[in-house]
Amino acid sequence: MGRPGKEVSLSRAVFLDRDGVLSRSLLRDGKPVAPTTVAEFELLPGVVDAVKQLHAAGFVLVVVTNQPDVRTGVTRLEAVEEMHRCLRDWLPVDDIKVCLHVDADGCDCRKPKPGMLLAAARERRIDLKNSWMVGDRWRDVETGKAAGCKTILVECDYAERRAESPDFTVKSLPEAVEIILKNQPSV
């Protein structure tokens, strides 16, 4: 807390899911799966410019991603870390939060629980009610809502449970960025 009479300034953030929003998800039986190697890891069209626009607008940019394939042995932690080094090289992101747990672990960080967003908010002084969660799955929308953020679903028509009541629905991150920039209070 600041001194009495001094207002503490909080930052606005955009929380970005990794696979399906920033990078291409692989599909198996209509369901999204994460790339398991750097060779499979590629950004989606328009992502670099979209993220640069958010950065230029002053948002704290935090990637929040569930990566249970490390725990289940489908991929190696080193491969996930290498993909994240690539993300940091390609995009002006401020942080990457990763949950390596599976649902059965009952952790607070695995989406749809808001643990990764709450941790980032504490560490980076983020105003969650003036922040956004952008994701491609129901888990992302529920995470954003649980943290008090506005939510944008990047619709991918996966063969799985549908997200309920996102604030906005789009087809790509560039469309999401347009909405975010149009719906920000002036500072």
How does 60-99 read in b/e, with b if 16+ C-beta sit within 10 Å?
A: bbbbbbbbbbbeeeebeeebbeebbeebeeebebbbbbbb
170 contacts 152 by C-beta, under 8 angstroms: yes
Distance between CA 79 and CA 39 in Å, rounded?
10
Distance CA 150, CA 148 (A): 7
Does residue 136 have an active-site annotation? no
Instruction: Please indicate whether residue 69 is annotated as part of the active site.
Output: no
By annotation, the residues acting in catalysis are 17, 19
